[in-house]
Every structure is written in C-alpha cells, then in structure tokens.
Amino acid sequence: MRRKLLIALAGLAAAYVLTLGGLFAAMLQPPDTFGQIMKHVPWPAFVVFPFEALWNVAREGRLEAGDAAPDFALETTDKATRVQLSSFRGQKPVVLVFGSYT
C-alpha cells in the first residue's frame, strides 16, 4: 500500500514539474502565441501554479541601466501612421508610459 502511494505521489510530482516547464516555455513565446495558449488554462491552475514567479523569470529581460531601448514601431492613436522609436534617437528624449488611465 505504501509503495503504491509513493508511486502515485511521484507521478503527481512529475506531472506538476512537467506542467510548470510547459507553462514556462509558453511564457517565453511572443505575446500573441502566449495568449493563445493561456486561454485554454483553467482558472484553478492559477491557484496551484506560481504564475507570477514564472512570469518574472521568463520576462526578466537582459537590459541594464543605461542600455539603449530595443527598437519598435507603434500605430498612432488615429491609426494614420506608424511611429518608430529609433526615429527619435539623438533628436529628443522619449518617455514611455505603460499603464491604463481609465
């Protein structure tokens, strides 16, 4: 009986570790791919797995203070044109604000 319990616990531990690895691998994907994966994760998983800790490690980044920001382009709010970050380099300071003001 004890042997069966140990085997069952080992199986659960292995499944937990494999699922953590899969979630971590998903978090390393581009945002659209990550979103497609996460929409299939049931809500109880957010209680059982350490999502915040995995996310912080997966999205840690490699930038140091003083490094140039990675280049990117975004649509203007009127969707008439795109603005590229590198077009401002050496001309004027740029402040990036991430958040919601609703």
DSSP conformation letters of 79-90: SS-EEEGGGGTT
With a threshold of 0.85, does the pTM exceed it?
A: no
Instruction: Identify whether 63 is part of a domain.
Output: no
Instruction: Identify whether 98 is part of a domain.
Output: no
* Model pLDDT, residue 102: 66
User: Residue-wise over 23-38: b if at least 16 C-beta within 10 A, else e?
Assistant: beebbeeeeeebeeee
Q: Into how many domains does the chain fold?
A: 1
Predicted confidence (pLDDT) per residue in 25-84, tens digit: 999 988 888 989 999 999 999 999 999 999 889 888 788 888 888 888 889 889 899 999
Instruction: Identify whether 47 is part of a domain.
Output: yes
Instruction: Identify whether 12 is part of a domain.
Output: yes
3-state percent helix, strand, coil for the chain, nearest multiple of 5: 50, 5, 45
| Interatomic CA distance for residues 49 and 47, integer angstroms | 6
Instruction: Identify whether 67 is part of a domain.
Output: no
Per-range mean pLDDT, top range of 11-20, 22-31, 68-77, 90-99: 11-20
| Interatomic CA distance for residues 8 and 82, integer angstroms | 55
Closest CA to 74 of 86, 65, 90, 58: 86
Enclosing domain of residue 48: 2-58
